[in-house]
Amino acid sequence: MSEEKPDLKLDHRKWRRRQFIAYGVFALGGVATWRTWSWIKHAPDVNGTQAPLRRAFEFNEGVNSVIKSHGHLAPTYPIEQASRTLRSNGQAGVKQPIDLSTWKLKVVKGDTPLEVTMDDLRAFPKTELCFEFKCIEGWSEITHWAGVRFSDFAAHFNLGTKSGAVPDPEKEDDLFAYTSLETPDGGYYVGIDMHSALHPQTILAYEHNGAALTVEHGAPLRLIIPTKYGVKNLKRIGTIAFSDTKPRDYWHERGYDYDCAL
Ligand SMILES: Nc1nc2c(c(=O)[nH]1)N[C@H]1C(S)=C(S)[C@@H](COP(=O)(O)O)O[C@H]1N2
Ligand SMILES: [Mo]
């Protein structure tokens, strides 16, 4: 099994295409804004700017900072293109039976670990993602997932920072360098650099193709991280922790590249 070297030329083309699409979206936003100008003019004024316009500015700022801070977004697909089946690959740490009614996610934070239930997770805004899932062994499939954006989860519980504040990708000094995830039995474990963990497409997924995750795909909760190969998409999360030292990583210990970035 060989590691694939990234094709830089291809990446560059993809990047140009993404920029083009991004600016296209902004341009469309501009036309829409112009067309609704009179509506905006009569809208309530918030801090000196009409509310709808202000929201548009904030949206654009948000998109810009996402593009700047995260380098790239994985391409996404219409949900109809997702394959109805998905092969199951890798059963390390998920072979034992699991009692979904008592499962809790453990989050190591200071001296008082948090315990998070599926109900807690379902109370977060649901983020959907349809992208091409790539296994380092050479297969890929378009897959559709839904769950909680990792950055929303981290922001809510003030995770991943030394100060205990909400993590901010711009405040490098306050961020732990890594997050680690492992299965409840410790049989599979991964380390993820903090910026990739906080990437807007990284999700704690509880649904696949619109239904609750099956055990073979990581019920009740798995990591979906489209900027990395399948190996980092840990199924059946038991514990999440944060550190400055590189966490141990199952496939890295077996000779694979640590980052497994796409
Ligand atoms: N717990 C656990 N998660 C895991 C693995 C594993 O062996 N154990 N294998 C990884 C690999 S190599 C791949 S390609 C994907 C496959 O996900 P799937 O079985 O849902 O298709 O899971 C990843 N997550
Ligand atoms: Mo894989």
Q: Is 87 in the pocket of ligand 1 (CB under 6 A)?
A: yes
Q: Is 235 in the pocket of ligand 1 (CB under 6 A)?
A: yes
Ligand nearest to the CA of 136: 2
Asked whether 203 and 147 are in contact (CB, 8 A), the reply is yes
Q: What is residue 23's predicted lDDT score, i.e. its pLDDT?
A: 44
The string of DSSP letters for 229-246 reads -GGGS-SS--EEEEESSP
Q: Is 183 in the pocket of ligand 1 (CB under 6 A)?
A: yes
Q: How many CA atoms lie within 13 A of 22 on its CB side?
A: 19
Q: Is 231 in the pocket of ligand 1 (CB under 6 A)?
A: yes
Give the lowest-confidence range in 39-53, 68-82, 234-248: 39-53
Q: Strands 127-134, 140-149: parallel, antiparallel or unpaired by DSSP?
A: antiparallel
In testing the pocket of ligand 1, which one of 233, 239, 249 has its CB within 8 Å of the most ligand atoms? 233
The pLDDT-based confidence of 31 (bands split at 50, 70, 90) is very low
Is the pLDDT higher at 15 or at 172? 172
Q: Is 215 in the pocket of ligand 1 (CB under 6 A)?
A: no
Q: What pLDDT digit, counting tens, does each position of 118-139 carry?
A: 999 999 999 999 999 999 999 9
- Reading the block at residue 240, the tokens are 């999440």
Residue with the two structure tokens 């801090």:
47
Tally Cβ neighbours within 10 Å of residue 99: 6
Residue-averaged pLDDT of the chain: 83
- Determine the residue type at 78: P
Ligand nearest to the CA of 94: 1
- For residue 17, give Cα distances in angstroms to 21, 80, 105, 201: 6, 22, 39, 18
Atom of ligand 1 nearest to the CA of 183: 1
Asked whether 225 and 130 are in contact (CB, 8 A), the reply is no
